[in-house]
Structure 1
Amino acid sequence: MKSIDPEDFKVTHPIRLSEIPTKLNVKASDDDKEEKLDKVQQKLSKFQDVMYAHNRYGVLICLQGMDTSGKDSLIREVFKEFNPRGVVVHSFKTPNSTELEHDYLWRHYLALPEKGKFAIFNRTHYENVLVTRVHPEYILNENLPGIEKVEDITPEFWNNRMEQINNFEKHIAQNGTIVLKFYLHLSKDEQRDRLLRRLDEADHNWKFSPGDLKERERWDDYMSCYESAINNTSKPHAPWYVVPADDKEMARYIVAKIIWEEMQLHTDIQEPELDDKVKADMEFFRKQLK
């Protein structure tokens, strides 16, 4: 199977999602993909232990994608070898009453990773320029100055909000948070098949929501909003990666491999060395224990 190069998926110039494939043409069985994923899982797990001991960086993994794009299963498979103390998953739902009493980024600041840990945002702060842009009436719930009705929400409002997100990510990156953002690029046909599977297979019925069909009707609107968000916020300190997601096994491997490759760029992440005095007294400590 062809080697995965993060640069092939990184957004470094304006993109059109309609021109990016949702499935790679690779000659590999599911077993081959799972074997490769397993190897990367093991390496990431060991790296996370080192990063925990180093205690200088946190890693924020952002996952976005349309319904059924495979975010939940990707998290389960990619990070299952991690020490549970080293990874925290946050799934951001509709803001509750307490969250709405603060600015829209407040709850995301609270969920940022501690030094030495990974945090995974399953749906992210980008919902604030995606779902709210498709359904601008949701913005009224934020009780913002000067926004009394939907008509008050101008294109400048969205430009300002994306600039605020850029500033948020720049701030946390400059303070030790490594930010990697993944858009799971699913085709509309594949989404239809996955929604049908939820209806046809009894053990998947619980995943189905009629609301998914209503959002599916706004597919083109969502694609336009995703393009705008990705093109305006993919920065060197917080890059976006567009990952073909019609093949779940391949998408998991691509995300894992990109995370691994990007982590290798941080060559200063090393296990801390013992204090010279402790090293000098090692034999003394052994005798004490014996």
Structure 2
Amino acid sequence: MPRKEILGTLGSYINPFRITQGEEFRLADFDPADTLGFEMKKGEAADLLRHGSEWLAIEQDVLYAQDSWSVLLVFQAMDAAGKDGTIKHVMSGVNPQGCDVFSFKQPSHEELSHDFLWRYLAKVPQRGRIGIFNRSYYEDVLVVRVHRHLLEAQKIPPALITDKIWDERLADIARFEDYLTRQGVIILKFYLNLSYEEQKRRFLKRLDKPNKSWKFSPSDVRERRHWDEYMQAYEAAIRATSTEAAPWYVVPADKKWFTRLVVAAAVVEAVEKLNLQYPEISSDQAKALAKAREELEGEKKAAK
């Protein structure tokens, strides 16, 4: 299939969910149960996802060989939206040597003694690699915004904590991402858009299964009480930081198979657009390889 046709096919899956200009963005306009009218059996979805993962593995191999661009995938969502499962299934075929996953938990004492972006910068993927942030610097304009007392632990001079702090942090994030994209980092940000009702269903399912109940914490229920505040915080973040260079994808998350297909399509499309090629060897390298071949073939003859 020609490259142009491939990109057109992928775009039909992801364009409805890609946000590059956030001024008019409203989270209420996006249905968490949307599947664009596609209906698939579990086996069909798994087969399609497998093909996408295999394709991504090929692209990742060329990305690693070229050693120029890097890819940063940012995942944000409410609990039980399926971040871990999406990462696992989409990246299943990628060479682990070329991919790093970071799950950012509660900041340490050292991290709290630095600016809020400090701990993330060191984990930005190096050239040729794919980096995945399972939660990210956006937590500092989401959970910290909803639970403002967490701001006190960040040791910021009180005079700098004003009513404008969230707008200022969002502006800082936008500039940070702009800087990274100008260094060759391809940034894709995924908000897995789970409905309030589906989260409840998944929580109850976790409680019903012993092999899933370990994932549940009483704090999960407490966080549900702040659902509307979180939705407002997400909407503000997506509005302020959606750009052509670092787009947000508001991915429906009520149907896991569709979530994974959209994410896989978005990642494949982004890497495919780079039109990567394996590095060409120089004439000196070609001579060295010819000499190595001659030596190896000579060993083979001697063995006979």
Q: TM-score, normalised by structure 1?
A: 0.94
Q: Which residue of 2 aligns with 1:249?
A: 257
Match of 2:173 in 1: 165
Distance 2:12 2:288 in 1: 46
Deviation at residue 28 of structure 1 after TM alignment: 1.2
Matched with 1:261 is 269
Query: What does residue 41 of structure 2 align with?
Result: 29
CA distance 1:278–1:2, shift in 2 (3 Å): closer
Q: Secondary structure at the match of 2:158?
A: coil
Distance 1:48 1:2 in 2: 17
- C-alpha deviation, 1:281, in angstroms: 5.0
Residue 258 of structure 1 deviates from its aligned partner by: 0.9
RMSD: 1.6
Q: Distance in 1 between matches of 2:118 and 2:290?
A: 51
Deviations 1:14-59 (A, max 9, x none): 2221221112242211111111110010010011110001000111
Q: Percent identity?
A: 39
Matched, 1:279 2:286: yes
Say if 2:231 is the partner of 1:219.
Answer: no
Residue-pair matches, total = 285
The partner residue of 2:244 within 236, 239, 243 is 236
Checking the alignment, whether the CA contact within 8 Å between 1:48 and 1:82 is kept in structure 2 is yes
Encode CA deviations 1:205-228: one digit per residue, 9 max, x unaligned: 100000000001100000000000
Tell me, what secondary structure is at the counterpart of 1:98?
helix
Q: Which runs of 5+ in 2 are unaligned?
A: 1-8, 298-304
Q: Is the 8 A contact 1:136 1:153 kept in 2?
A: no
Task: Look up the SS of the partner of 2:109 in the other structure.
Answer: coil
TM-score, normalization by structure 2: 0.90
Q: Which amino acid aligns with 1:275?
A: S
Offset at residue 287 of structure 1 (A): 1.5
TM-fit CA distance, 1:279: 2.0
| 1:282 Cα deviation from its structure 2 partner | 4.1
1:95-244 matches, cutoff 5 A: 95-147=107-159, 153-244=161-252
Offset of residue 181 of structure 1: 0.2
Please say if residues 87 and 118 of structure 1, whose CA atoms lie closer than 8 Å, have aligned partners that are also in contact. yes
Give the letter for the 1:86 counterpart: G
The answer to whether the 8 A contact 1:162-1:232 is kept is yes
User: Structure 2 vs 1, CA of residues 39 and 91 (structure 1 numbering), >3 Å: closer, same or farther?
Assistant: same
SS for the counterpart of 2:172 is helix
Offset at residue 4 of structure 1 (A): 3.8
How many angstroms apart in 1 are the aligned matches of 2:43 and 2:167?
44
The Cα shift of 1:285 comes to: 2.2
Q: 1:80 pairs with 92, 105, 110, which one?
A: 92
**C-alpha contact (below 8 Å) 2:69/2:184 kept by paired residues:** yes
Matched with 2:30 is 20
Distance 2:228 2:106 in 1: 22
Residue 154 of structure 1 and its aligned partner are, at CA, apart by 3.4
Aligned partners of 1:62, 1:230: CA distance in 2, in Å?
13
* Residue equivalent to 1:41: 53
